[in-house]
Amino acid sequence: MSKSTHLAHRIQNLQPSAIRELLKHSKMPGVISLAGGIPSQELFDKEGLAQATQMVVDKNFNDAFQYGLTEGNVELRQQLVGLCRERGITTNPDQLLITSGSQQALDLLIRALANPGDVFVVERPTYLATLQILSLTEARVQSVGGDEHGMIVDELEALLKTTRIKCVYLVPTFGNPSGTTLSAERREKLVKLAIEHDFIIIEDDPYGAISFTEERQKTLFQVAAEMGNHENVVYTSTFSKILAPGLRVGWVILPEWMKQKVAIVKQATDLHANSFSQSLVAAYLTLGRLNPQIALIRDVYKQKCLSLSRYLQEELGEHISFNQPQGGMFLWAQFRYEFDTTKWLQQTLEKGVVYVPGEFFFSDNADKKTLRFSYATATEEQLYEAVQRLKSAL
Ligand code: PMP
């Protein structure tokens, strides 16, 4: 018998990421990648990060290099209360847990909630790595469709008539991969349903700050708080897209009933998030540079998004359609006719351009004619060239 039978059943069944396989050639010289959700490193605030690093070494050396609290650096949590306030969220340091990116927050939350057979609802399409976390549990995944206004909450309501739901996971603002934002009306309805049917909402918000307009949707957390509910919505966000992903610093706001248990799961996982990174972010936040940094990211991504949209419209508009993103890093598109974007990738790769085929973002009912472009990493010239290459691959 193969030794791999020693692996736990749920691990034996794990599949390697098909995307990774498909995209392993995308790092070849000359290939333009519109695939990865990778922030533009030209925009990293080198001066501010260097200054903050020096401050940590000079003033906070011991904290930065010593073990710390599982809940996270106290100063950072205090500053996060202010940052959350700017997002319309009222919280306090005791409710916050600093995590190794929001990816870890998702993992801790799902592990803390999922019993075998519990139903977790995701959007169709949804964030791939959350599907991966769910595949490590014995929870059941059900999906609800999305349109240009985000998750179709009426579909969720219909599902609730027949199914007991434990948790709904969504990226309500500038979604990955859909780029869409849940409308105010749907936000309200979703939160009401959560209260009425007592399910948990995991609100994953890495992109909310990267808005291309002045229009803001309230977070689901805020919508619930305004209804007097502080129990059903769990909010997570991260410094990955607004400062630097390599820091691996994110946070989650935990309701009272989850706080202690999730901290224990975190403790069992890694004791606490990286002390140096946490001290660094805390120092950075005292410099007053984060908001200008976010403004810069918003401006640059907005321009790139407009450019990519224009080129796609002009060159490929008769073949594909898409909604114009209002923020975030992704443009989600679909062919106007039946088409297999996974197969097509081989041809576009030969022409020197890659994207992510849409089917991987679906837990079921995959729509093979969809695809995701990221405009964050490529330069303006590369975006133009990429679209020319896509056209020649058709
Ligand atoms: N959620 C979503 C929707 C994301 O797109 C990402 C990053 N790709 C994450 C969570 C995780 O980000 P991080 O762990 O870097 O904070």
Q: How far away, in angstroms, is 102 Cα from ligand 1 center?
A: 6
Q: How far away, in angstroms, is 4 Cα from ligand 1 center?
A: 31
Ligand 1 atom 8 nearest Cα? 37
Nearest to 313 by CA among 339, 337, 336, 279: 336
Q: What is the CATH number of domain 3-45+292-393?
A: 3.90.1150.10
39 in ligand 1 pocket by Cβ < 6 Å?
Answer: no
In the prediction, which pLDDT does 26 show? 75
- Cα separation, 203 vs 234, in Å, equals 6
103 in ligand 1 pocket by Cβ < 6 Å?
Answer: yes
Q: For every residue of 319-353, which 3-state class applies, written as one string?
A: CEEECCCCECCEEEEEECCCCCHHHHHHHHHHHCE
| Statement: the pTM of the whole predicted model exceeds 0.95 | yes
Domain 3-45+292-393 shares a fold with domain 47-286: no
ipTM score over 0.85, yes or no? yes
How much of the chain is in helix, strand and coil states, percent to nearest 5?
50, 15, 35
Length reported for the chain:
394
- Cα separation, 155 vs 159, in Å, equals 6
205 in ligand 1 pocket by Cβ < 6 Å?
Answer: no
Please state the atom number of ligand 1 nearest to the C-alpha of residue 248. 15
Return all residues near 282 (Cβ < 8 A) that are at least 6 apart.
60, 73, 75, 76, 79
Amino acid at 141: V
- What kind of architecture, by CATH, is found in domain 47-286? 3-Layer(aba) Sandwich (3.40)
238 in ligand 1 pocket by Cβ < 6 Å?
Answer: yes
Return all residues near 141 (Cβ < 8 A) that are at least 6 apart.
119, 120, 121, 122, 131, 134, 363, 364
- Cα separation, 235 vs 88, in Å, equals 12
Each domain of the chain, given as residue ranges in start order, spans: 3-45+292-393, 47-286
Q: How many angstroms separate the Cα of 95 from the Cα of each of 127, 170, 221, 304, 309?
A: 25, 21, 13, 37, 40
Please state the atom number of ligand 1 nearest to the C-alpha of residue 104. 14
In the prediction, which pLDDT does 2 show? 84
Per run of 10 residues, the mean pLDDT along the chain (length 394 residues) is: 87 78 78 92 97 97 97 98 97 98 98 97 96 94 96 98 98 97 98 98 98 96 98 98 98 98 98 98 98 98 98 98 96 98 94 95 95 96 97 96
Please state the atom number of ligand 1 nearest to the C-alpha of residue 175. 3
- 276: its two tokens: 């140096």
In tens, the pLDDT along 208-238 reads 999 999 999 999 999 999 999 999 999 999 9
Amino acid at 180: T
Pairing of strands 320-322, 356-357: unpaired
Return all residues near 223 (Cβ < 8 A) that are at least 6 apart.
187, 188, 191, 233
Ligand 1 atom 9 nearest Cα? 103
327 in ligand 1 pocket by Cβ < 6 Å?
Answer: no
Q: How far away, in angstroms, is 318 Cα from ligand 1 center?
A: 33
Q: How far away, in angstroms, is 120 Cα from ligand 1 center?
A: 19
169 in ligand 1 pocket by Cβ < 6 Å?
Answer: no
